[in-house]
């Protein structure tokens, strides 16, 4: 029956007028957003629920998507009130992408842990998708236009909806962050995480390391909170719109409690330290971005999803570049000379994706131990 449901044609329209025709699956609705791509071979469930993709239409370059379906929602950890859990398989509690573009849709998925198909999941959440597209051609075009372009998925050519640019949306952070403080675990180390669009696997990584987590909204005044270490999470959008949390970061940087920034958190820490950000020409997408540590000379394969990068030219000499990208030499992280502050542009908690850099969570815990 699913084959009959997904045979309706649809069209992708890019902001320069380029169109791609394909077949519709998921919800029979039109949608618009920033079209980006991901090169991962697995982990589509995790990517689709990653808050960093909020407002974006995601293109998977790997040709087979949907073959293992979608797992059920089940909790692996609960907060201290036992009312809310952290999903074992999703990176947030809902689909974050505005649409999906793929080459081949597996209409007969099978997996022992499958709860429903990808198309059924998208339909339940009112998210459209197109298949039968040359996604590698689309990815090449996106790379030639800075790694992303505005676009819209239309049910037919007569549909008319405006383009939507999430980078200009000042309310993007409110759409992905929590609205009240939540506490998880009862461990030895008290970690305060500012949620700009937090991935669940960051929570899992800390809970496995004997931590109590205090999770607060993106605009929360955390300057008076008691904690052993501060984490600035990943999230979507232009880092320069986060003026309030940047102000709070500058206040807590006067103290010596450890700070760990991830992805967007890296950019916010860098701006608070006097740096700037700019949009990359090609962006960094996918699970295969090579970086090198300037501390040790070791190289790692990382998962990344961002269009903005940190410009460190105006940061004081107390800060050093921690990691660099081996493809384009851009900054992939910064570290302070004498205070326990550091951040990385990539995802050390990558899920799905390489786990080469998960040791950075231990590095952060060790800095908390030394600071105490």
Query: Which residues are annotated as catalytic?
Result: 263
Tokens of 285: 């997408």
Nearest Cα neighbor of 228 from 259, 198, 253 is: 259
Given a contact cutoff of 8 angstroms between Cβ atoms, the answer to whether 280 and 330 are in contact is yes
How many other C-beta atoms can be found within 10 angstroms of the C-beta atom of residue 218? 23
Q: Is 317 left (phi over 0), alpha (psi -120 to 50) or beta?
A: alpha
Longest pairwise C-alpha distance within the chain: 64
What the block records as the tokens of 274 is 């006097």
């Amino acid at each position: 029956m699913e084959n009959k449901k997904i045979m309706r044609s649809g069209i992708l329209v890019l902001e320069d007028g380029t169109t791609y025709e394909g077949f519709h699956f998921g919800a029979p609705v039109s949608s618009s957003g920033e079209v980006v791509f991901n090169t991962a071979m697995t982990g589509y469930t995790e990517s689709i629920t990653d808050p960093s993709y909020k407002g974006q239409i995601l293109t998977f370059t790997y040709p087979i998507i949907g073959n293992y379906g979608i797992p059920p929602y089940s909790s692996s950890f609960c907060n201290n009130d036992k009312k809310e859990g952290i999903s074992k398989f999703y990176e947030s509690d809902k689909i974050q992408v505005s649409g999906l573009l793929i080459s081949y849709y597996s209409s007969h998925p099978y997996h022992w842990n499958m709860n429903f198909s990808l198309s059924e999941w998208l339909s339940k959440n009112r998210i459209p998708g197109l298949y039968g597209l040359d996604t590698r051609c689309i990815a090449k075009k996106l790379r030639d236009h800075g790694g992303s372009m505005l676009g819209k998925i239309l049910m037919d050519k007569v549909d008319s909806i405006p383009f939507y640019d999430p980078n200009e949306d000042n309310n993007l952070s409110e759409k992905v962050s929590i609205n009240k403080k939540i506490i998880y675990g009862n461990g030895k180390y008290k970690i305060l995480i500012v949620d700009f669009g937090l991935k669940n696997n960051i929570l899992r990584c800390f809970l496995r390391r004997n931590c109590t987590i205090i999770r607060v909204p993106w605009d929360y005044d955390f300057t008076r909170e008691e904690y052993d270490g501060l984490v600035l999470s990943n999230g979507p959008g232009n880092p320069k719109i986060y003026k309030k949390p940047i102000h709070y970061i500058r206040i807590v940087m006067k103290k010596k409690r450890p700070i760990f920034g991830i992805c967007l958190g890296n950019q916010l820490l860098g701006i608070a330290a006097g740096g700037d950000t700019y949009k990359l020409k090609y962006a960094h997408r996918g699970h295969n971005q090579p970086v090198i540590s300037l501390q040790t000379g070791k190289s790692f394969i990382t998962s990344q999803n961002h269009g903005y990068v940190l410009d460190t030219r105006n940061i004081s000499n107390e800060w050093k570049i921690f990691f660099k990208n081996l493809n384009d030499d851009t900054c992939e992280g910064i570290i302070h000379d004498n205070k326990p502050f550091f951040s990385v542009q990539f995802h050390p908690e990558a899920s799905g994706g390489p786990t080469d850099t998960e040791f950075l969570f231990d590095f952060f815990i060790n800095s908390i131990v030394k600071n105490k």
